[in-house]
Amino acid sequence: MAKRLRTAIVALVLIVVVLVVITAVYNFLNYDVPDRESPDAPAYFDPTFGEDDPRLDLEVPAADASDAEKIAFVVELYNIACENYKQAEKAAFQVQYMTNMQIGGGNMPIPGTRYSVKDGDKKYYLDFCVPSQEIIDAVVGLAAEPATSHYAEAQYTDSTMDYVISRKVYEDCGGEGVGAGPLYLEDGSISVDWTPAVETQLPKTVYAAYQEGDFRHTDHDVSVDTIIPGSVTIEYNEEFGYYICDFKLDPNKVPEALLAKLRADSGFANARYTDLQESMTIWDSGYFRNYHAIDTWDAGSSFIASVLDFDTTYYFNTVEDADKFDIANYQYMAEMCHK
């Protein structure tokens, strides 16, 4: 009798965990994230091609082209898109991401959403990582801390600042029992108590035309030295006018700073990237449309690993996307992203 009771309790706990995971994923997928309604090109892209044809003068390598030619094409396209983002007066992007923690064969999804708005020299940024409390309780102590797996963060910078100001809230951020991570409400919005937020100054990266240096979409190095030969496929969507480039990066050539951050955030001194799959679509006018990265790392063994799935959609200063550049349209951006 006691054995059957224990079995029933274990089964009930497993059912609850499964329901929690399903609820977390459902809330993530149904959160009201601004989405591009159709794959139409930006408004500045004139399909009638008047005197000034905005399309890049690039030729897609033939199917039988060498690996070097394909890699060079991808790198050139990526560099052009990065420079166009830097030079754009207004730009925005949103990121839907999922961190799938894999511990001893179990899978724990930790979803999140990021928003970034660039308006001239001003940059606003929000990051919400919102797993269910049951999931975070299971993960903390094994492979993650609340500061990196259940948090809300607001950032701001402009040309008068040589740093980025960050305000971050998570469990116990203000001391034991003071501060908690964000939660989803029934209407799909996010609830955050920013009162105990930890305020810090972060290094400033390149994002606008007034700065020296290059903007880079990803902290990974996308170059002829890091793209794996034989991994590149390139297509061109003639109907809507954009390139589709799929490729892999060499996980053994990850920048030292990025590897150090992975190890610091995960708490594992031997953490390493094991697979880096990248897919980008770029308008044939040279502007980012989407960048999807699936990066896998482990703790130095296969017992603890994680798959990082980041899907980024870009918006530029167009009539159709005007709402993406109004910080009032983003929850907490106006009140928390400031000096």
SS3 at position 247: strand
User: Is the model's pLDDT at 9 over the cut of 60?
Assistant: no
What pLDDT score does 103 carry? 78
- Which helix (H) or strand (E) segment is 158 a member of? none
Say how many domains are in the chain: 1
- CB neighbour class for 148 (10 Å; exposed up to 12, middle 13-18, buried from 19): middle
Asked if the model's pLDDT at residue 245 lies above 90, the reply is: yes
pTM of the model: 0.84
Query: Distances in Å between the alpha carbon of 93 and those of 131, 279, 285, 313, 315?
Result: 22, 16, 18, 5, 6
Torsion of CA 251, 97, 245, 42, to 10 degrees: -150
CA distance 78 to 74: 6
User: What's the distance, Cα to Cα, between the start and end of the chain in Å?
Assistant: 64
In tens, the pLDDT along 53-101 reads 678 889 999 989 999 999 999 999 999 999 999 999 999 999 999 998 8
Higher per-residue confidence, 178 vs 47: 178
- The Cα 15–Cα 23 span in angstroms is 12
Q: Residue 188's pLDDT is what?
A: 84
pLDDT for the residue 6? 43
Domain extent at residue 332: 2-336
- Return the pLDDT at 51: 55
The residue ranking higher by pLDDT, 82 or 3, is 82
CB 20 within 8 Å of CB 38: no
- Over residues 19-38, the mean pLDDT reads 41
Residues 6+ apart with CB under 8 A from 44: 54, 285, 316, 317, 318
pLDDT band at 148 (very low <50, low <70, confident <90, very high): confident
